[in-house]
Structures are given as C-alpha cells and as structure tokens.
Amino acid sequence: MTASQAHDQPASIGLTRSGSRLLVPALMFIALVVAAVGSLGTPLITSVATTFHVSLDSAQWTLTIALLSGAVATPVLGRLGAGPHRRATILATLAIVVVGSALTVLPLPFAWLLVGRAAQGVGLGLTALMMGVARDHLPEERGAATIALISVVSIIGAGVGYPLAALLAEFGGPRAAYGLGLLVTAIAFVTAWRSMPAAPEGRSAHVNVAGALALAGGLLLVLFLAGERSLWSQHLAVAVALAVAAVLLLCVWAVSELRTKTPLVDVRAVRHPAVAGANLAMFVGGSGMYLLLTLITRYAQTPHSAGYGFGLSTFVAGLVLIPFSVLGFVAGKLTQRVRDRVDGPLLLAGSAAIVGGGFVLFATARSNLAELLAAMGVLGFGVGSFSAAMPGVILAVTPRSETASAMSFNYVVRSVGYSLGSAVGGLVLAAGTDTGRLFPNDDAYTTAALVGVVAMAITTLTGLVLTRGRSPETNPITAPSG
C-alpha cells in the first residue's frame, strides 16, 4: 500500500466505539450552530437599524459581512483542515466565533457589531471540516450518511435560528438575540474541545498565501457587487471597474493555483466533469433556492396596504420557515436511504425539479398563508434532498485527504450563488416597483419566480448530463502533492 493510499483509508485515531457515537452528534451540532449564527443577521436587520440609529442599508451589512468573511475564510480553512493541525484549526476558528459573538452582545458602537458579525461569519468555513472529520474517523457507510446530514443542517440552520432570534429581538432587542449566539457558540467550542480527534498521521497542508489573497480579494468584490445593487444603478462605471478587478483577481488566483505545488484549491480537480458539473449545479441551483427563500419571506412580511402580502411580524414570518427546516431534514434522511439505489447526479436533478415545483407553486398560488407554507415546504424538501446528494457526487472522485478542501470550494460556490440569488431577486422586485411606491407590484414576484424556474431547469439539466456522463466505476482524482 502506497502512502497516498494509506491516507485514504478510514482512520479511528483516538476514537473508541462510544467516542464514535458521540462524534456524530458533535459534528452535527457544530455545523448547525455555525449555520444558525451566521444567518442571525437576517431577522434582526430592522431591529439593528432602530437600536443603533443606522439606515436599513447599513444594517443589512450585519448579514452581508458574515457571508463575505465566511466565503473568504472557507477555502483557507479547508486547506488547513486537510493538514495535521485540523483539530487546532477547528478550535481556533470556534474561539474567533465566540469572541465575535461577545462583541455583538457588548454595549459597543455599530462598527464593533460589524466586526463581531465578521468574526461569526468565519465559522461558516467549518462545515467542510466537519465533513472531513466524518470521512476520516467513521466507517464508510456511516461517514457518508453523516456528511449528507451535515450538508443538510448547514442549509436548514437558518430556519432553526430565524424564528427564535426574531422572538428574542422583539422582547429584548438585537443584543438579546445575539446573546443566544454567544451561548450556543460557547457550547460548540466546548463540544469541539471534548470530541474532535486529531487528524490522521502523514497529512500535510501548506497555504498558498498569494493565492489566498487573490481569491479573498476576488470573492470580496464579487459578493460586494452582488449585495450592493444600488451601485449598478447609480454608479455603473464604478461597478463595472470593480467587476473587471474581480475577474482579474480570480484569474490571478487560478494561475497561481496551477503553478504552486500547494494549491489552496486543486483547480485541476475542479475541472473533473463530476466536480465541475456539481459546482455548476450548486452555483445555479443555490441562486434559485435562495431566491425563493427570500421571495417567500419578503412576501409574507409585506403589509396588506400594498394590495397583497400578509403583514406578518418578524417572529411570525420566521415561523413560516418551520416547514422549510422540517421537510428539509426529512428529505435529507430519505435521500440517504435511496442514494445506494439512485445515482447521485440523478438525485440532484430530481431535487432541483422539486425546487422548481416550489417556484411554480409560489408563482401561481399565494393568495393565502397555507399556500405560502406549502411552497416553503416544497422548497425545504427539495433543498434538503439536494444538499444531501451533493457531497456524494463530489466525494466519489475526491481523495479522503482532500475532503475538506473539495467541499470548501463547493461551499464558496454556494455562497456566491446565494448572493447572486438575493441580488437577482432584489433587482427584479426593484424593477417592478412603481415610482413613489415603497413595495413592488404583485406581478414582480411572479416574474422573479419565473426567473427561478429557469434557474432550476438549468440545474436539473446539469444533473441529467452528469448522470449520462458517469461510468459504472468512478476513478478518484489523484491528491495533490505537498
């Protein structure tokens, strides 16, 4: 057996049978916490604007900055997680999240709140590391099931944190809601301290600093341009210049990755048809999924005076996400049971089609709250199945030692897709808002839903193409040296 083959064997370093049982809930809990805390900005934007006396656009940055820092940190953490110091990386990252959570609770100026939210967003990069631990330290079948569930809870975490954070904000303001984040992140740190095993021996991982800086700069610009929709309408020349700069930085990163022996992300592996197709499906599908999520929650909170909507409070609107979370988890469990009988790309295609059905339902039937809940439930089921199937498609051709790195890149793609979905939704609704009116016309929601149908159709076709291109025996990509 060669050294590289040895690295791809499941490890049980420091794990007893009882330790293995405790590891799975620990991995799930940490993934759920970082996802829920990262999404805390969503229900608190209005409350933050009121409490800190800032504009809604400024308050929106409490969400945007967490997504930005998460997207930048994810590939770096993924590379560090592929090396011998994975446990230390996990603990250090959670420590940063705990410190950031404390900053959001302390009576400090708004700028410090943004710093705290950026630190909390770094934790979003831990999801891929949790997958790497599961693949290294659990039996193959159980590890695959755990990885699928980690992927699911990283999606539905927003649905778990949203209503509770909104309820706390209504009674105690945003600092009370952020206090919940401090509590659960502290518990997550202790959980990781007690349960995270050391990485298998023989691993090595070096961070390509130049590549990391180029990728960070490119991602920051891409996500900034996606979030700052007004920049395109009011300062088009500046927006175009920043877009060109983003493309150049990402090109510099790609060239740097191809030349170095220690790439942050193995770009050659990304070119593998299965990996490239899965990431394309994640990008387009993620855009569509986040678009429908934002459309439904925004529609539910629109006051009756607009001629549509239900005028729900932040807390009640958060409850609308319960079908999303519950059915997402159910779909994730069901997907595990059928993944041995149904090809992974086919599961992706079917899941995307289900989300497309949610768009159709929202476009054609949203006159009462029950219909809105049904659309949210369909979305949750499709997203849960899609999230559970995605890791299997990528990891089928990825060496065990590169699990964290490969999934980190996939999560960066997801973050960019989510930002694009949010931006597209905002642009379509803004275009459908008459001069002098605060809320868009009802027809604008239908138009945005049709855009989502197209996105999910593309994702479905991508999955079907991947299914046709798979051979009965898939060969893993050779792990990069160094």
Q: Please report, for the domain that includes residue 428, its CATH number.
A: 1.20.1250.20
Q: What is the pLDDT, as a whole number, of residue 454? A: 96
Indicate whether 234 and 308 sit together in one domain.
Answer: no
Which helix H or strand E contains 159, and what residues bound it? helix 140-172
Instruction: State in Å, rounded, how far the first CA of the chain is from the last one.
Output: 19
Q: What is the pLDDT, as a whole number, of residue 477? A: 47
Indicate whether 57 and 196 sit together in one domain.
Answer: yes
Indicate whether 298 and 389 sit together in one domain.
Answer: yes
Q: What is the pLDDT, as a whole number, of residue 398? A: 79
Considering the entire predicted model, what is its pTM? 0.80
Instruction: Say if residues 207 and 253 touch (Cβ distance below 8 Å).
Output: no
In-domain check, residue 8 = no
Indicate whether 193 and 236 sit together in one domain.
Answer: no
- Which of 205, 221, 242 represents a domain boundary (last residue)? 205
Indicate whether 213 and 273 sit together in one domain.
Answer: no
pLDDT along the chain (482 residues), means of 10: 44 50 89 85 77 80 82 82 85 96 94 94 89 87 85 77 80 88 94 90 72 84 76 83 92 84 71 82 90 88 88 81 89 84 89 96 93 94 92 82 76 81 81 83 94 96 81 46 42
Find the domain containing 88 and state its range: 14-205
The contacts of residue 384 (CB under 8 Å, 6+ apart) are 152, 155, 156, 327, 328, 329, 330, 331, 332, 335
Indicate whether 148 and 187 sit together in one domain.
Answer: yes
Domains in the chain, number = 3
Q: What is the pLDDT, as a whole number, of residue 103? A: 96
Indicate whether 381 and 292 sit together in one domain.
Answer: yes
Q: What is the pLDDT, as a whole number, of residue 160? A: 72
The contacts of residue 310 (CB under 8 Å, 6+ apart) are 299, 300, 301, 302, 304, 369, 372
